[in-house]
Structure 1
Amino acid sequence: MSLSAQMDVSVGEHAALLPVLPPEVRSLTLRDGTRLDADIYQPAAGGPYPVLLMRQAYGRRIGCTLCYAHPAWYAANGYIVVVQDIRGRGTSEGFFKAGEDDIADGVETVDWAAGLEGSTGDVGMYGFSYQGYVQLMAAIEARPALKALAPAMSPWHAREIWAYENGALRLQGALGWATQIAAETARHAGDAEAYADLLAESRTLNVRGCVQARPTYMERYREMSHYHRWLDTPADDPYWAAISPAAHAKTIAAKNIPTLFLGGWYDSHLRSTWEAYGDLLKEGHTRLRMTFGPWLHFPWDRKTGAIDFGPAAAVSMDVEHIRFFDQWLKGKEPAAAEEPIQLFDLGVHRWRGFAALPQQEMTFALSGSGRATIDKSDGVLSTHSGRLSPGIDYVVNDPWRPAPAFGGAFGTPPGPVDRAHIDARGDIATFTTSPFEETLTLAGAVKARLHVTCDAVSFDIGCVLSRVTKAGQVFQLADGYCTVKKDEPRDVIEVPMRATCVTFQPGDALRLSISGASFPAYPLNPGTGEDPTKAPSAHARVITLGVKYGNGHPSCLVVTVAE
């Protein structure tokens, strides 16, 4: 059954829920002697039942109820549900080290869960964010009991997308998560004072201190999280591959475990979800599904940011999960055939099915008279294939008032919010199409290819793709960011951006916005060649970027369109 059709299903189809026993705490002792605790939810009678396993990093009683139904609801649908505190979290023993124990611990836990009394011996895993990541890590060395995975909005490449983006530290995201991890480590250790301090810091997430990426409070608690290791470990260190499911794509694909990926167009792990699906597909995995809704990391509701995407966006992913697990753990036939890729169209507010990832590209050239930062009607995006007059727009980045992160996955506020006043800043160059005369549907990857000059030895480039409405509102669709050093000579700088799916209506326009910063989503590049994660704020200088376009300098935006 397609997601579009799910809205027409009567409630009665899902009403036959089983009575469920109160959760029972059981423990697994790992081979190294570490005890891991779990809550077990199971139907009060009947069986045997398959097992649904969630390995939880934030306390097992939460059960991912930020965006899923309670574990008891899943048990009421005929499953034994196991929600486990992973190593060093909740009441489980050990010390939490991000990603470092999740392969071995995951494999042992799956085997243990498969052997629980009343189990059929078949195990599926579900959960989002870190609870999705541990599924992919467990799959690397999975044994036959693991029959299905449903990772939602979770990491794939540890360094490039989780910690950094094209060389730039994902400051706000990395620091925010590390602060939470450090606070939970303090709680686990019984350090109430440290927990209270970290909890307070998490509410403001300041970057006070000599170095923006190293705020003083994180220096005090550097042993309580992975944060400094992420800052100081070189990109080519084996550490990153060891905690990256992407480094094991071939191994995971060979196991061919049925997998349902779930993503959100405004989720911080969008690129990870999109690339995980694509990488596994390339490696020969044949039992993959992927769904992308118009959502933030959470909640998964019809309204995101400033836009109500309508009833189709309120589709129940819990129901979809049960259908998926019923097929692979209970042998039930799917209700109806559907395309394996389901994408929510941000323009027409409905689901679109695809048999494969769209590949057809469309290119828009940049042009203008050099005033795209001041006059928002000056910079133009055009499909014109003839000769364009050469030109250049200068983007000046002042570290005292850097261009802010606004909207999307990393901005404040997040999601699709009107960024017209942000684009009006004099340190952001905008290039906009004429209003479309016909509909145009983008579906897939986006990137900018820019011919850039700079008066500094290092600099950053931020790109945002937006839909401009007839009323002049500017809603972000995708973004990308990269750090550049002049000792890495490149004639053209390619800035990968997040994928999207959107239909432009007649009268809508497409816009590319270019800046030299996106703070505090990423730290300011000082322009001196120093590492932005180590350079004092006082070293940052004014940086001037020149974006060249026209004849001889074909700067352009490249989008993927639905065929």
Structure 2
Amino acid sequence: MNPIPLSLTLADGVRLDADCYRPRHRPLDEPLPVLLMRQPYGRAIASTVVYGHPTWYAAQGYMVVIQDVRGRGTSTGEFRLFAHEAADGAATVDWVAQLPGSNGRVGMYGFSYQAMTQLYAAAGRSPALMTLCPAMVGYDLHQDWAYEGGAFLWQSNLGWALQLAAETARRRGDEAAFLALVRDAQALPVGDRVPVQPDRLRQLAPDSFYWDWLNHPDPRDTYWQALKPDLAGVDLPMLHVGGWFDPYLRGTLRLYREAQRGRSPQQLWIGPWGHLPWGRRAGSVDFGPTAISPLDRVQVQWFNRILKGETTPDAVEAIQAAPVQWFEMGGQGWRQSHLWEEDPPLQYGFRGTGLGSMVGGELRPLKSGNGEGCPEVQVTPETQGTPETQGKPEVYVTPEVQVTAKETGVPDVIVHDPWRPVPALGGHAAVPSGSFDRSALDDRADVLTYTTAPLDRELVIWGEAVLRLWCWSSAVSFDLCGVLSVVRRDGVFNICQGYQRLGIGEPGQRRSLRLQFQATGQRLRLGEQLRLSLSGACVPAYAVNPGTGENPDAAPRLSAQVITIAIEAGTLAFHLS
């Protein structure tokens, strides 16, 4: 249990401290492959919130090195989010490959920040680095970590900024600042004049990454491009890990799809987990003992095959198994397959009745190309053109289909009141994450619901569902949150959600919207129902849109308006497994 302390002094004089674990009763000079983790939370933690302790990994015949990144733990230098991880990571890989007792073959593992440090280290293209196991990684920092659908991920970003700022205050011995930041982290400061810009964080951590992320909302900004790991020419075997309720699943999928273009083996595991822990429960739902993470043993078998060259059945299976191992919630547990296609086929349509917020509307299957089964919403093959409104049914041209809403009917209306916005509950973007009974939320008059009839056959929905609809609003800008749930006798349990911010437009202008949901894998059984819920907010997961055209992340609370959103018709597309 007592690690060997090690230190690497970089060319600029910064010292990076690490702990080294080796198997007991093995000579210290016996050459072993190295498992490396680089993390910012104090190396004694070693990601044990989701992984086995490094002593367990060492006992499997490895030299395990857990390093504090620059400016964290006891390492010296200044911590700047991701700024030094490429150069420091590459230097560390070369260093551990040459340590006494190393055989020169290095693999890396870790989740979240520790997954990003793997990618940055890989950009150094060291021949010693043989494989990566990145878990729950926000690969594109803008689209997969900081923002979703154009909206800043307020709760998760603020909570993380407070955690890192508190650690900075602790390192410099500022107890007053440390305690103030800890208190805010335990009860987020959401009541300031500009809610997304809390006064105490600005006062105590003016150099936090949080302000950089707020000040660069455009994904094309050079700020984001400079932070993207340069993986051009990198082709390494990777074991990818995600969770259906993890906020960074988008990044895990993006990295996996990109890595598949190379020649090295890639494998993806997706469990029924939030960011942490990786246990049998996510939210209020117990997915059973098989949901408990098998990843420690899976990773060791992966490392055994690549770093040791083992040919045992388990080691060979680790590489040759189906490329995607995913947990079917509500059903069979772990399954194997290939990844779904990115563009799902249409499955259901819905149409406003005027009472979607009171008694709910119907979500009806689209049984054929002419809309049979949901005659109010028609779909036809794509043709060239744009939305037409002069003397014709109004048509929304998407990359795959047209959605035609007949002129009869009354739209369903959401009245979003910033005094009592719809609160976040579970899903992937809120804390805590996971699946909860949202029956009370769906009873609110500012939530529209569309529900299928009780199913006469079982459905397994998986992949990224896509919602397309026509809507208009009283405001120049507004948000829309969509949630998919399974309706059972014991409640309404969310399975995935999506969020989209609509930019500046004329009040009352009919607008098309495409909302992509977080990927999911869910079995719906006979008699259960699928429900789509729509609202104009999801607070504090995302900040309230004031509706004035101001940047919601800089708008004072006083400017927030009541917003009316009308939903006319739409379609819901998803894959069936």
State TM-score, norm by structure 2: 0.89
Following superposition, the deviation at residue 129 of structure 1 comes to: 1.0
Q: Is the 8 A contact 1:459 1:485 kept in 2?
A: yes
Following superposition, the deviation at residue 358 of structure 1 comes to: 4.5
Following superposition, the deviation at residue 400 of structure 1 comes to: 0.1
Post-superposition Cα deviations, 1:280-317, rounded to whole Å, max 9, x if no partner, equal 22x43542110001111111111222222112112421
Post-superposition Cα deviations, 1:376-405, rounded to whole Å, max 9, x if no partner, equal 3x3434325233154411111100000111
Matched, 1:436 2:425: no
Post-superposition Cα deviations, 1:161-185, rounded to whole Å, max 9, x if no partner, equal 2111121110001100000011111
1:552 corresponding residue in structure 2:
none
User: SS state of the match for residue 91, structure 2?
Assistant: helix
**Structure 1, 359-368 or 21-30: larger mean CA deviation:** 359-368
Q: Is the 8 A contact 2:305 2:316 kept in 1?
A: no
Counterparts in 2 of 1:349 and 1:412: CA distance versus 1, 3 Å? farther
Q: Is the 8 A contact 1:467 1:510 kept in 2?
A: yes
**Structure 1, 388-397 or 473-482: larger mean CA deviation:** 388-397
Counterparts in 2 of 1:413 and 1:379: CA distance versus 1, 3 Å? farther
Distance in 2 (alpha carbons) for counterparts of 1:344 and 1:427: 33
1:31 to 11, 14, 22: 11
Distance in 2 (alpha carbons) for counterparts of 1:237 and 1:224: 19
User: SS state of the match for residue 453, structure 1?
Assistant: strand
2:398 corresponding residue in structure 1:
none
Counterparts in 2 of 1:490 and 1:146: CA distance versus 1, 3 Å? farther
User: SS state of the match for residue 498, structure 1?
Assistant: coil
2:20 to 16, 20, 40: 40
Q: Is the 8 A contact 1:310 1:349 kept in 2?
A: no
Percent of aligned pairs with the same amino acid: 42
Following superposition, the deviation at residue 416 of structure 1 comes to: 0.8
2:271 corresponding residue in structure 1:
293
Q: Is the 8 A contact 1:222 1:228 kept in 2?
A: no
The answer for unaligned runs of 5 or more in structure 1 is 1-20, 550-554
Matches within 5 A, 1:269-418: 269-281=248-260, 283-333=261-311, 334-336=315-317, 337-358=320-341, 361-376=345-360, 378-384=361-367, 385-386=371-372, 387-388=375-376, 390-391=408-409, 392-411=411-430, 413-418=432-437
1:512 corresponding residue in structure 2:
532
User: SS state of the match for residue 273, structure 1?
Assistant: helix
Question: What letter corresponds to residue 57 of structure 1 in structure 2?
Answer: P
Distance in 1 (alpha carbons) for counterparts of 2:336 and 2:119: 25
Question: What letter corresponds to residue 477 of structure 1 in structure 2?
Answer: I
1:468 to 487, 501, 511: 487
Matched, 1:486 2:504: yes
Distance in 2 (alpha carbons) for counterparts of 1:285 and 1:409: 32
Q: Is the 8 A contact 2:346 2:571 kept in 1?
A: no
1:419 to 410, 432, 438: 438
Distance in 1 (alpha carbons) for counterparts of 2:144 and 2:236: 24
Question: What letter corresponds to residue 349 of structure 2 in structure 1?
Answer: A
1:89 corresponding residue in structure 2:
72
Q: Is the 8 A contact 2:352 2:568 kept in 1?
A: no
Distance in 2 (alpha carbons) for counterparts of 1:32 and 1:141: 18
1:139 corresponding residue in structure 2:
122
2:560 corresponding residue in structure 1:
540
2:542 to 516, 522, 536: 522
Counterparts in 2 of 1:231 and 1:356: CA distance versus 1, 3 Å? closer
Post-superposition Cα deviations, 1:122-160, rounded to whole Å, max 9, x if no partner, equal 111011111111111222222111111111112111112
2:192 to 185, 206, 209: 209
Distance in 2 (alpha carbons) for counterparts of 1:304 and 1:486: 37
Following superposition, the deviation at residue 321 of structure 1 comes to: 0.9
Question: What letter corresponds to residue 462 of structure 2 in structure 1?
Answer: A
Distance in 2 (alpha carbons) for counterparts of 1:558 and 1:402: 27
User: SS state of the match for residue 223, structure 1?
Assistant: coil
Distance in 2 (alpha carbons) for counterparts of 1:463 and 1:197: 35
Question: What letter corresponds to residue 500 of structure 1 in structure 2?
Answer: T
Distance in 2 (alpha carbons) for counterparts of 1:418 and 1:483: 25
Distance in 2 (alpha carbons) for counterparts of 1:558 and 1:515: 19
Following superposition, the deviation at residue 188 of structure 1 comes to: 2.0
Following superposition, the deviation at residue 429 of structure 1 comes to: 0.4
**Alpha-carbon RMSD:** 1.7
User: SS state of the match for residue 81, structure 2?
Assistant: coil
Q: Is the 8 A contact 1:312 1:349 kept in 2?
A: no
2:236 to 244, 251, 257: 257
Distance in 2 (alpha carbons) for counterparts of 1:111 and 1:299: 32
Q: How many residue pairs get matched?
A: 529
1:129 corresponding residue in structure 2:
112
Distance in 1 (alpha carbons) for counterparts of 2:510 and 2:52: 49
State TM-score, norm by structure 1: 0.91
Q: Is the 8 A contact 1:367 1:381 kept in 2?
A: no
User: SS state of the match for residue 292, structure 1?
Assistant: strand
The answer for unaligned runs of 5 or more in structure 2 is 377-405
User: SS state of the match for residue 190, structure 2?
Assistant: coil
Distance in 1 (alpha carbons) for counterparts of 2:66 and 2:297: 19
2:47 corresponding residue in structure 1:
64
Distance in 2 (alpha carbons) for counterparts of 1:356 and 1:227: 34
User: SS state of the match for residue 503, structure 1?
Assistant: strand
Counterparts in 2 of 1:228 and 1:405: CA distance versus 1, 3 Å? same
Counterparts in 2 of 1:512 and 1:80: CA distance versus 1, 3 Å? same
2:388 corresponding residue in structure 1:
none
Distance in 2 (alpha carbons) for counterparts of 1:432 and 1:50: 54
Following superposition, the deviation at residue 366 of structure 1 comes to: 1.1
1:9 corresponding residue in structure 2:
none
